[in-house]
Structure 1
Amino acid sequence: MKENSDLKTYSVQECTKCCNTLNKEGTSEDNKIKSLCESFITYALNLYNDSKINSLSRSKYITYLNYWLNMELRNEKKTVKNFMHFLDHHLKEWSDEHTVYNELKDKLFDMDNDLYEEMNILHNLYNNYNNLDDAIKGRKSCEGHSENCAKFFNKGIDTYNKTKTSKFYKELANFWIKYNKIKSKKNECKDNKILDLIQGNSLIKYVENITSEKATHTCKAIKGYNINVFPQRIHRYENILEKLTAHAQYKKLDDASVDDSICAKYCEIPNSLEENEKKVNLLLAKHSTNLKTLSNILTDKSSDDHCSYLLYWTYDKMLRIFNKSTDITQYHSIINKLNDAMIKINIELESDKSCPYLIGRNINEWEKEKDMHDYFKNHQKISECTTENNGNCNQYCDYLNYINDLYMNYINVCCTCYTNPTSDCIYMCPNYFKCKKDYYPPDLIYKLGCPNTNTNPTKSADEVFANLIIDSDVIRKTNMPYLGTFTKLLSDPFNAIMLQGIASIGFTPLRSLMHKKKRQKNINTNNSHVEPRKKLIYNTESSQKKANNKRIRVAYHSTN
């Protein structure tokens, strides 16, 4: 990112107050964690408030931010879990810092040793590649930088022989291609020396052949799987929900056939997940097929509806496959695979057919979010029972009282309303919550003639929404312009890499979106109900530009 003089620089010094709740005479260890907190919050604020970064690009930065955080914490013999515990206790609730932290919270995790080693090698490869590129442009000595590239490339081959991670091997192949392109410029170096990398053409051919053959064979097998592979998960109001609008849309997604060519092109099918293998493979294949052909499956819905239905269909299938006793690393692995495929597919889709959200990691909230989402989709159908013969409206009463409890828990964090100069609400949870009085559950309960099971007096919709109102001037004045880049952090070469742009050009699976000429339509990536009352610039996007001269950056999820 180039510094823009029109944008406010947000530096690490301005973040000290949010991490400065420790005693002034804290231990050396406390001070190190506080310093890391300041850098982390500074990165996060700039990342989430830079209007030049769209939601898909942001996900690539987050991947690398998680690696950077793991690296810093490993140096202090701490874990990401420890650090998040620190932030939970030291960030002021409802502050901008707390808001951004909540957005990131379910995307950060402790990497296992193999994934960390792979990421570390890729970071060093591209760091030295950038140094080599600078040396060529400056007509300086290239040999030392090319020696480092060769050293880390050889280390990468050795690591692959240990981990057998197919995606990591492909990333090494991608690097080999890029390196050999720049190697042709060795005459521009002062010493005319750029070393060869080992494994050359045999590496590329092996990866292409093995990956293609394996993917095609596996995806053809998956095509024959029955939807009943997914375990049953009976909702307590299943007999009601199965007759309503949302269920019909989910059924269409269930019934859509797997396209083995889409599966082979976009999906990273795991080698084995023991008893869950068939279920996970079918989910990956169906999710990619459904996304690629979504407008043909849900033909009677808007593009936003398409995306939200696919999101909560996916959550439902994940909840069917896994349970609370499942190793959390399995969740992360499958979520990474789903998100990788989504990014690849969205890059190729037209803006009105793409779904640039990402699968979140806040698994404990998935079911409640889906229930809220489905209520808003089902509202019209339920309300029509009063005009139907033998409508049997009483069948909805228990369900609506359950929804009312959920609604009251979510509305304060999902809606911020204002009246100056006009009345409107900001949707903080746009995937699953609508901030309109028309959907107020007590009004529907009353319309259907249901008994009020709530012991507390029911407030009117006007009263509830009145409590959400703040002056629009407050929103405008408190929406701090944390935009642009910042000088002090860029003085550290490692930090500069992280901040200037992590996604590499053509570096799969998190490929730079700068090559994309058409604008991407944006959908909020957050899937957690814990949202701020302040409006932040989470989803502003700008036209994409070509990046022929952009630096190579690392962003990588390891999946076998």
Structure 2
Amino acid sequence: MSINNKNFILIKLAEKLKFFQGLDLYKSYEVLNKSLADLNNTNFCVNISFSELDDPDVISLQKKLLRNLGILQKPEEFFVGDITKSKDKLCVYLKYWLYEQLIVNDFSNFEINLLFDFLEKHKNGCMKDKSLEKTCNFYKLSLKDIHEIKNLYDYIEFLNNKDIKIYDEISKDHEWVSYFKKGLDLYKISKIRCSSDKHNNYCYEFNEFEKIYKEKSPYFSCKEKLLTLLHNKETTLTGHSPQDNAHEGTLDPVLYNLLKKNNLLNEVKLHSFYELIKSHSKTSTSSSCVSINEYPIKEEATICNLFEHVKNILEKWDEYYAKYQDLNPNKYCEYLNYWLYGKLININVTPCDMEIFYFLWHKYVMDKEKLINKCNNEKSYGFSKEELINKKKLFDFLEYFKVIKEKLSDVKNENTNEYCKYIKDVFELYKYMVQKKILQSYNEEIRLFQNVFSDNNVLHLLDEKCPNMCLGLVFNEKYKTLCKFEEKSLTEQEKEKLNLCKNPEGAKTGGHDDGNHGKIFNVTNFPTYNVYKELNADLTGQNYYAICSKLILYDEKHCGIFNLCNKLVRNLIKYSKMKNKERTESCSYITHWLYDQIGKIQNINSNNLYNTVAFSELFKVRNDILHQLDTFDCLYNTPNINLKEKKEQKYLHDYFKNHSEMKCEDASSGNKCENYCNYITFISKIYANYIDECCHCFESGYCREICPYFFMCDDNYNPHTLFEKLECNKFEEFRETIKKVDRHVPEDLFVKWIADISIKSPHLLNWDNKKSSITYEEADNKITWDPFYIFALVSFGCLGAFLIFFIFYKFTPLGSYFNNRDSGKKKSYFENFEQQYLEDNVELSHGNRNNQRMRLAYHQA
């Protein structure tokens, strides 16, 4: 027999939770579990044969089950009290007893099938002779299904109990909390599963059980929430997460301190309203304000004290609050709600206590007919302490955001960093709330937040004042967190690994050197200089991007690769926010900067970077970043990267960007001009190597640029043209050092096309010049295989075939035949579809007998 977990049988449940002993379920179980010798006078199906079962354990349980079916015929003879009135639940109690017996006696799936098959076989025998006034439906379940259904029964009985103190009894035992929490999960999953997939035995059983237990106890939802909170190991008995106490009934503590430092507390009426409420505080003189039998309240004195305070406020609502400082009464009602969140955070109550408090508040307002401006909250879902803290923090921030925004715009503000950190914290809280949206706890705060920040101009301002904090990505639904590339602090172990590359012993093998690496041109006034300076700037602080972590391993051998990765992430994030021409230019700068920096790293293969594992990882990181940023217009797959070529391409790219800045307008610029001439001389040699490769020019004068990211074919950019414009020949050292490199001979497009064909498809131009004499047969053969004649023959042949087919289709019965055949196919398709639909219905009604319910009748006398 199979081994099952028997830690949660009814006897142990009753030992752990005493209230189970008073349940009808427990009392009926005691009767149904009596031995055959003690209770065997029902005369139900006594003549039935059990020989076919051939298993003593199954036979014994089957006899007991039939005896118990007889008991259910006359419940008043065997049960006492209210059990006889629970006629709808009698079958549930019987099946609960059966399922527990299967678990306790370690029945296997094979033995369980024997029992259910026996019931199925004999349901039309002696069982059918009994009255059909009441039936019990037994469904053939697996052992796994039986465990889950029993777990569901226990869960519902547990939550239907009114006494909230029972949660204290199980809270210290994680195993019991987990058992009932599993029942909650099973209930939710089964509700979803069995609303669509109804045609299986588990769902037959669940839906029948759900129908019987449809009437749940009051405050069922808050009990479910309390059970969920108990399951969280970081939660206390009352369902509260252990956090620092907030300022009771005032603003969020962090925001309060920021505003107080800058004397901004009274810029919004929220704070003064909280202070007014404090002045109307009143302590309850009674320890009871509700009937303990009517509501499942735990901390009655605490709730009554708070309710007395709110009643005192509501009594003065029309006089003091509704017209306070000419603000809309609905706004002050909203303020009161969030003030209460602050109070509830700091008192020791359960979610059910909170829900009862809101019920009492609502009832009081509705009963108070003299109130003109009614204020109450009908949107309470039994919030947890964590939810209350989050809701109040976001609301307080939104109320003061206008003041915060003005403070950020103030150039004299010295606390910008503190405000930015706080804003980022709140934005991250919003992202968390969105992830929890299914719980509905944060719906109102999410709506308020979206109303405030729906204007892109506000987000752009925050991005400007609080850079590198990803605030502009707050509404990006692809990211579960605010910053896709989270920053982390380096651990001591990581710092040690990174420090190894600073050891001179590890720097014996330098980076790539193309022979011009040491050539220095004083070009600090060029536009490219400032761009590269910004791209290569060090990251502020000690943080790094988590996505680069894998490169720490390679930093000792390839010193600087980890730091380069972090700079790359920062630059690509900034690039992803650019648009149009600025975005295109930024991509080319980042690409050339990246290869230039790679060239300075140690121990690399300059001929093929992909052969170096570390750089292969770096390019993977780059691609991952671009994909996660949903940016694909700067994603290049460049195999066999040669650093010498990339270096030359950067030189050319920068030359074209700097071209317009090289001017010699006065005598004082002599040294500068000499430096320009030196620079142009250097560039002209590289220019000559690429002009033929990157420019395809035609007789019309138009040139197609093959390398737009680093080469321009316009002759005005020719280094020789600029060399003459700057009069570099006046410097003796540059005379006759540069020759003009002209663009190659213009191409004839037709000739180029024929040339391409001769290379790619030489058989199409099969002109043989080897023979000096050609016979008539050979000449005829040449004409036959001429590409023009082949093309003409095929084209006219196709046109002729289409014409003939059109004539037959239009003017002969052939067209009608095809039309009728098509409609016949359509009709056949729909007929087949309808037939299949009918067959499916037949299959459902005549399916596997294992999926049918068994109705065993018993008579209630």
Establish whether TM, by shorter chain, passes 0.5. no
Based on CA coordinates, which of the two structures has the bigger radius of gyration?
A: 2
TM-score w.r.t. length of structure 1 = 0.39
TM-score w.r.t. length of structure 2 = 0.26
Question: Which structure has more RCO (C-alpha within 8 Å, separation ≥ 6)?
Answer: 1
